[in-house]
Amino acid sequence: MSDLVLIERDAYDVKGAVKLTMNRPGAFNALSEAMLDALERALKELAQSDARVVVLAGEGRAFCAGHDLKEMRAEPAIDYYRELFARCSRMMLTIQRMPQPVIARVQGIATAAGCQLVAMCDLAVASSEARFAVSGVNLGLFCATPGVALSRNVARKAAFEMLVTGEFIDAATARERGLVNRVASPDELDDAVRSLAATIAAKPREAVAAGKGLFYRQLESGIEAAYALASETMACNMMEDATLEGTQAFIEKRAPRWK
């Protein structure tokens, strides 16, 4: 595995938790072509593993500053840009398509495609010192692909304001708007991440995986189709051994004996 992405298993002393750390601190963890490829490979490998929850982090002061602008500017050709943004979209969609919940651990700035990365993660825990922006418009480049993820997390007018102003919002505002789930002081950030990861890792893997897949499919469906998808998912989920044990344990008023 590339040293651009560091992998720690049983992270935070939580069995089944895997931490992926973007490791370009000198470049604010910018998403170079190599970084995009390294992230996609790591995520796809974890999707096939027995991991229960994934934490995505950034080394250094920034979570992720978006695309590598120096790399982008070196080859100004339409076909190159089409392939670059398609490659980034594939990596982002890998997060949503993998069965494990992915938690963004945001300790610093998350801008442009870095903010998109936070929005694409299933959950996000931010330091109170973190800041967020989709600031491409300040350079004359509207953050179109980050806007896809942002508009699916944040209310429409709030998302559009961020996209057309390029202004930063702080962690408290990001939580109010639904971009992050929890905010903690810098020295308590890892405790907050650990708590959320441990809670998820303690649940049956099959139920979480089925639920995550259904969650995103139904969001993109009309309500009747969403209910049909949800009903089928629940029916199949009820046949899982872990679910049968969990419901029996509830009836018998005891803790589930999950494997």
Could you tell me if 215 and 189 lie in one domain?
Answer: no
Same-domain status, 218 and 159: no
Is the pLDDT confidence value at 130 over 90? yes
Q: Looking at the structure, tell me whether residues 171 and 84 fall in a common domain.
A: yes
Element (H, E) at 160: helix 156-165
Q: Are residues 179 and 212 in the same domain?
A: no
* CATH number reported for the structural domain that contains residue 80 in this entry: 3.90.226.10
Which residues lie below 8 Å from residue 61, measured CB to CB, with a gap of 6+?
Answer: 25, 28, 107, 108, 109
pLDDT exceeds 60 at position 94: yes
Q: Which pLDDT value is given to residue 76?
A: 82
94 and 161 both lie in a single domain: yes
Are residues 190 and 241 both part of a single domain?
Answer: no
> Contact at 8 Å (CB) between 65 and 28?
yes
For the domain that residue 212 is a member of, what is the CATH number? 1.10.12.10
pLDDT greater than 90 at residue 21: yes
Question: In the chain, how long is the greatest CA-to-CA distance?
Answer: 66
Is residue 236 domain-shared with residue 175, that is, in the same domain?
A: no
141 and 234 within one domain = no
Answer yes or no: do 104 and 215 share one domain.
no
How many domains is the chain built from? 2
Asked if residue 61 belongs to a domain, the reply is yes
Mean pLDDT within 37-59: 97
Length of the chain: 259
258 located within any domain: no
pLDDT for residue 234 is more than 80: no
Domain membership of residue 146 (yes or no) is yes
In a domain, 134, yes or no: yes
Give residue 246's domain range: 205-251
Instruction: Let me know whether 44 and 10 are in one domain.
Output: yes
**Residues 116 and 219 reside in one and the same domain:** no
Query: 210 pLDDT exceeds 80?
Result: yes
Answer yes or no: is 123 within a domain. Answer: yes
In a domain, 17, yes or no: yes
The one-character DSSP state at 14 is -
Q: In this structure, is residue 259 part of a structural domain?
A: no
Mean pLDDT of the 125-130 span: 98
pLDDT value of position 229: 81
Q: Which of 195-199, 233-237, 251-255 has the highest mean pLDDT?
A: 195-199
Q: What's the pTM? A: 0.92
Task: Please check the confidence at residue 251 and state whether its pLDDT lies above 90.
Answer: no
Domain end position, chosen among 160, 182, 201: 201
pLDDT band at 7 (very low <50, low <70, confident <90, very high): very high
Give the DSSP per-residue string, 76-124: --HHHHHHHHHHHHHHHHHHHHSSS-EEEEE-SEEETHHHHHHHHSSEE
Mean pLDDT of the chain: 93
Q: Is residue 234 part of a domain?
A: yes
Structural domain ending residue among the three candidates 178, 201, 224: 201
Shared domain for 154 and 227, answered yes or no, is: no
